[in-house]
Amino acid sequence: MQISKLFDGDKTVLSYEIFPPKRNDSIDKIYDTIEKLSDLNPDFISVTYGACGNIADSKTADIAQLIKDKYNIESVAHLTCINTGKEELDYILNDLESKGIENILALRGDINPDIKPKKEFKYASELATYIIKRGGFYVSGACYPEVHVEAEDSIADIKNLKKKVDCGVSHLISQLFFDNEVFYAFKDRARAADINVPIEAGIMPVTNKKQIERMVTLCGASLPAKFVKVLQKYEDKPEALVDAGIAYAVNQIVDLVANGVDGIHLYTMNNPYVARKITESVKNIL
């Protein structure tokens, strides 16, 4: 099923992101996570791409297949291109297709200083174009409410996003953000540029201080004053911070839904407890 078709109805789409276990971690834990998440009936689950985009370590395809075949939930396989050549990419696409995966989230991927980038694909738009020309998949893309950290400015960032959509990307998932006004301003810029595909808002419930510090460093997400106050008040109270992080995410979602967001993509961090708390709090408004 094409993911973008989920947005044809009146319901606000709710989806989750999970990641495969690291090389030395047991895969049983992710099976347990999927089991618990499936009970919450998300519209789809996306699966990130290995460790640092390394196909040798990735169980993405197998996990995406399990979600779809065992739990009858649509899955989206993430695929990065910065360290992937065409031969390897063809192998991955054939593997995904053989496992019945129909939807791919096409990403450039983070640059690993220890790995020299391949030259075939520099940008996610090039990867998306390659996949779409090959056929056999529906392609989603990422977008950045606070502007991609490497973009010259917001105008250049929207132009790059328009390239993705013009090449056939039919659904967008946003990078995480903590200030809804930032998302609304971004959405207005996108619609003004004739980017009319569904845009899901990426929400990450913050449950520990190290997590947020890492995300801010990687993504460049800004922290509104009210969010900083939450962190400062509960940073030394782990259980309270979990509850506060869940409450903040729920408040974000309620406001987003009230303002007509196409969908909510919850970055679960493989934590079904947090996903359940949030889902149960918002399920009646979606």
pLDDT of 258-281, one tens digit each? 999 999 999 999 999 999 999 999
Least confidently predicted of 8-12, 167-171, 230-234: 230-234
Label residue 1 by pLDDT band (50, 70, 90): very high
Does 52 have pLDDT greater than 50?
A: no
Summarised one tens digit per residue, pLDDT across range 149-161 is 776 788 999 999 9
Summarised one tens digit per residue, pLDDT across range 222-246 is 899 999 999 899 989 999 999 999 9
Does 83 have pLDDT greater than 50?
A: yes
25-39: average pLDDT: 91
Question: Choosing from 17, 74, 146, 200, which is the catalytic residue?
Answer: 17
Q: Is 126 a catalytic residue?
A: no
Does 56 have pLDDT greater than 50?
A: no
Residue 85: both structure tokens together: 């050549």
Quote the pLDDT of residue 54. 53
CA distance 41 to 159: 35
DSSP reduced 3-state for 52:
coil
CA distance 273 to 279: 10
CA distance 60 to 40: 21
- Enumerate the domain spans of the chain: 3-285
Label residue 65 by pLDDT band (50, 70, 90): very high
Residue 111: both structure tokens together: 């640059």
Does 249 have pLDDT greater than 90?
A: yes
CA distance 175 to 148: 9
The per-residue pLDDT of the chain, averaged, comes to 92
132-142: average pLDDT: 98
The model's pTM: 0.94
DSSP reduced 3-state for 135:
coil
The percentage of the chain sitting over the pLDDT mark of 90, rounded to a whole number, equals 74
Q: Which CATH class is domain 3-285?
A: alpha beta
Least confidently predicted of 74-78, 83-87, 136-140, 147-151: 147-151
CA distance 222 to 176: 10
Please tell me which of 53-57, 113-117, 163-167, 228-232 the model is most confident about, judged by mean pLDDT. Answer: 163-167
Quote the pLDDT of residue 218. 78
Q: Comparing 174 with 235, which gets the higher pLDDT? A: 174
User: Under a CB-based contact definition with an 8 Å cutoff, are residues 16 and 75 in contact?
Assistant: no
User: Under a CB-based contact definition with an 8 Å cutoff, are residues 131 and 140 in contact?
Assistant: no
